[in-house]
Each structure stands twice: as C-alpha cells, then as structure tokens.
Amino acid sequence: MSADTAQRPVLVVDFGAQYAQLIARRVREAGVFSELVPHSITRAEVEAKDPVAMILSGGPSSVYAEGAPTFDTTIFDLGIPTLGICYGFQVMAQALGGEVANTGLREYGATDATLVGDGGVLLGGQPAAQNVWMSHGDQVRKAPEGFQVLASTAATPVAAFGNAESCLYGVQWHPEVKHSDFGQRVIENFLHKAAGLPSDWNSGNVIDEQVARIREQVGSARVISALSGGVDSAVSTALVHRAVGDQLTAVFVDHGLLRKGEREQVEKDYVESTGVRLITVDAADTFLGHLKGVTDPEQKRKIIGREFIRAFEKVQRELVDEAKAEGEPIRFLVQGTLYPDVVESGGGAGTANIKSHHNVGGLPEDLDFELIEPLRTLFKDEVRAIGRELGIPEAIVGRQPFPGPGLGIRIIGEVTRERLEILREADAIAREELTKAGLDGDIWQCPVVLLADVRSVGVQGDGRTYGHPIVLRPVSSEDAMTADWTRLPYDVLSKISNRITNEVSEVNRVVLDVTSKPPGTIEWE
C-alpha cells in the first residue's frame, strides 16, 4: 500500500514525537490510510509517494535549538493539504513567515482553549471553550500572513490557525491523545472537510489489494510460512493462502512450550477455517533435552531460538527438495512483520533476501528467500480485523501476545515437563476466567508465571503444604513500549486464585504483580 496503489497515503511526518504512531492510528480510525515517514524525507520522496495529505507530528525539541529536527520546507509549495501538530505547527508557522518565540510561558497537560470566531473548518461545530492536552515551551506568537487564528489559550495567543485557500492548518495541542476532548474531531475535520478525503479505508480493501499484489509477486512459485499460532503469523499465512492456495505450505514447530490446547487449535480449528496445508514438527523432546538444567533466562532464549532454527531448516530442506522434484522452486517466505516492527527498526525500506528475523524466532541468515510481508503497513488491531474478515477463529485472532520462547520464559528456574504442566493448567484457568468476565479487550496480555525455584507454606485439606507460587501479570498497553498493571475486579482475581489453588497440584499461593513498565518488563524473563 504505497504510492503505486489506488490507496494514496496521508503522510505522518515524525519529528521524534512519542505520539507519532498514535497520529497514524487516528487517521486510520477516520477511514483514511496513513504512512509514517521521518522528518528527513525529501521533496522528491514526498512527490514519489503522491500523498493525499500530510500531518506534521509534535516533537521534544525547540525549533530554535541546535540540532533540532529539520524539514524541507519547499514541500509546502507542493499544494498538499497539511496539518501541523505542536512542534509541526511551529515548524509550519516559522517556515511560512509567522513568529515562534519562547515567552517563558509553558503549557503542559490539561489546558483550556477558546475558539476564535466559529473556529473555521478545522474546529467548526465544537464548543467555544474546550479542554485540550498541551506539551510545549515555545509559542506561535504571530500567525503567517493569510492565516486566520482559530483558537487561543491564556498563555498562547495563536493556539490554532488555518488558511482555507492553501489548505494548511495547525494546532498547538495534541488532538491525537484521548485527553483532548475533541481531538479526533479535529483530525476528522482536517481529513474529510478541509482535505475532502472520503472515509473508505478498511480491512476489506486491504485484503483485496494484498491478494492482487501477492499473486503478481509469486506467480507459480512455491511459498513457505513459519506458523507460530500467534495472531501475526496466523493472519499473514491466511492472507497469502487466500492469494496462492496450495502453493503455500505452513510449518508449525511444537517445541513443547505451548499453552494448553494450542497445538490442537492450530492443527484443527485454524486449518479447517483456512484450508492451509500444514506440516507440524514435533520437537518437544529435543527442546526439553537441551533445556535440562538451564536456569539462566538469556541462555534459555538462545537454546529455544537455536533449536527452532534447526527444526525449521530440516523441514525447509525437505520442502525444497520436494519442490525441485516437482519443477516449482520455493522462492518466498511469509513474514508477519507489522508496522510498529518496521518503524522501530528505523523505517524499514525492506530487503529482497532475508538477513535476520525476529517474528518467528530468529531464522538463519542463509535462507535465501524473497519476503512476503502482507501486514507490514498495519497495526495489531487492524491485523485482528483482517483475520476476522478472513474467517480465522476468534480464539486465535483475539489471542494475547505470546513470546516466541513460549512458557519456557514464564518458568523461573529449570524447565521440566512437570513444571510445564503446572503452568499450562494455571495459565488456562486465568485465560478462561478473564474471557468469562469479558476482560480480554481491557488488557494487553496477562503472563502467568511459575516461580519454580520458590516454595511457600500453605494449608490445604487440614494439612501443611509446601507448594509453588503463581504470579499473575495483567497489563494494559497500546504498543508494549510502556505498560501499566491492569486493575482487574477483585471478584475475578478471587475466582482465578481459588481455581488455581484448588485445581492445580503443587500450587498453594497466587500473587499479583502490580509493577508498571518501566521499571519492570512485561515478561519476567
């Protein structure tokens, strides 16, 4: 979904803002496709992408500071409808002849803004007084010539401006955050009323576009996919299968560290719903053999990653030989890369051959395949929507993020079959009760951790016990970069605790982790 498709993007220009990805999400929530680009983008690169609009993000710098993010201001001459936010608002004001100054008056957090006149097309139809979310030290003191002041605050005389003729607008506050009462309305007014863009971007046209693109890319060649059972690999595999059918073979490695019922769910429910040809590699004995006696978490991760590579390589060689015999080579590998992965790795121009792989456990560098990444422009919630459109079971589409090393890093201590069974049962109970309570949409994930090297005294059945503690780690997050512990209802916590201590042998205590990230990580290991 780049400039060569029917869906031209709204470019979100990132000036180092913590909310840049959030702006891109808000644009998509308004039914318009968006793409995040760095502030260093050139005029020629913008022209090549042929955007329908641009949004300039905020950022932590002052426009006057040495080394502050710069922008090719000749891009404003292209006539692209543009909205500036915070730092982007000040970049626009300064470039177009306005005045930006540090007056010593700063605004952080909730701020009262007042519309000037009717607020123009950008703020029209909103209350004259509203609460907005500010985070700035500099102010636009004077709007560029030809621009109408649309809003002000006690400290900022020009808190929003606009030029309807050139379709250039800006706000000092952050409309992308929920703390700004009418923030989404501002973004929608810019997109639909000012720029005249329709609200027609959705999961259905993503599927149609990607199916056509994949068919053109693959031709008659064969494709393989490493299926983990998680959302990303499940949806990317199903999307490619929709495009090329039996030319695709999915490989599922059962390393013995899966959650309860996960293998059966993939082999039965997923295959039945998609028709994907699946090869399952039963490697539990191998993985557990290499993990025997290992307690260091980093060593566990390396062992699991290494053995995954070996298991995948073995099947890959067999499939390549089979394909050669049939005259159709395997040329492509499906990768479940999402847009946050691309952004976090520096914007990701992409590469034809695989060099490294973080989505399916770290594939070897010499797997010389071309990549198919049908989800690389999408966020997780968009991927879930596409999965539902493709008919993937909700139990898979709605699944919480799960680490590649599986339960191996949720056992603090040595990984054994007995300990895995204890943790599987406890994890299954926690997930079942959260689903029953309708809380799956309120939490990002809830790791269940077994403190295998810790025992505590308990009383069960009028007798003394000496069992393991289980830790519940429910967290809420938008992107997993930061997280806070989820305030689950006490009755739900009580039910989970009672069931685990009654139904899972060797467990006599359940504790709740109430640490945010930072300082703690989401997973314990």
Task: List beta partners, residue 55.
Answer: 12, 83
- Among 35, 39, 86, 262, the one annotated catalytic: 86
Query: Can you spell out the DSSP letters for 62-131?
Result: -TTSTT-----GGGGGG---EEEETHHHHHHHHHTT-EEE--S--EEEEEEEEESTT-HHHHTTS-SEEE
Query: Can you spell out the DSSP letters for 374-433?
Result: TTTT--HHHHHHHHHHTT--HHHHTPPP--TTGGGGSBSS---HHHHHHHHHHHHHHHHH
Q: Please, are residues 232 and 207 in contact by the beta-carbon 8 Å criterion?
A: no
- Among 39, 136, 174, 468, the one annotated catalytic: 174
Instruction: Report how far residue 21's alpha carbon sits from residue 344's, in angstroms, rounded to the nearest whole number.
Output: 10
Tell me phi and psi for residue 84, to 5 degrees: -100, 140
Residue bearing tokens 């090549």: 48
> For residue 57, which of 5, 26, 15 has the smallest C-alpha distance?
15
Instruction: Report how far residue 27's alpha carbon sits from residue 397's, in angstroms, rounded to the nearest whole number.
Output: 23
357 is catalytic: no
Q: Please, are residues 143 and 158 in contact by the beta-carbon 8 Å criterion?
A: yes
User: E-strand spans in 422-483?
Assistant: 448-450, 456-460, 463-472, 475-476
176 is catalytic: yes
- Among 35, 107, 176, 188, the one annotated catalytic: 176
CA torsion angle for 440, 441, 443, 449 (degrees, to 10)? 20
List CB contacts of 449: < 8 A, sequence separation 6 or more: 410, 411, 412, 423, 470, 471, 473, 513, 524
- The set of catalytic residues is 86, 174, 176
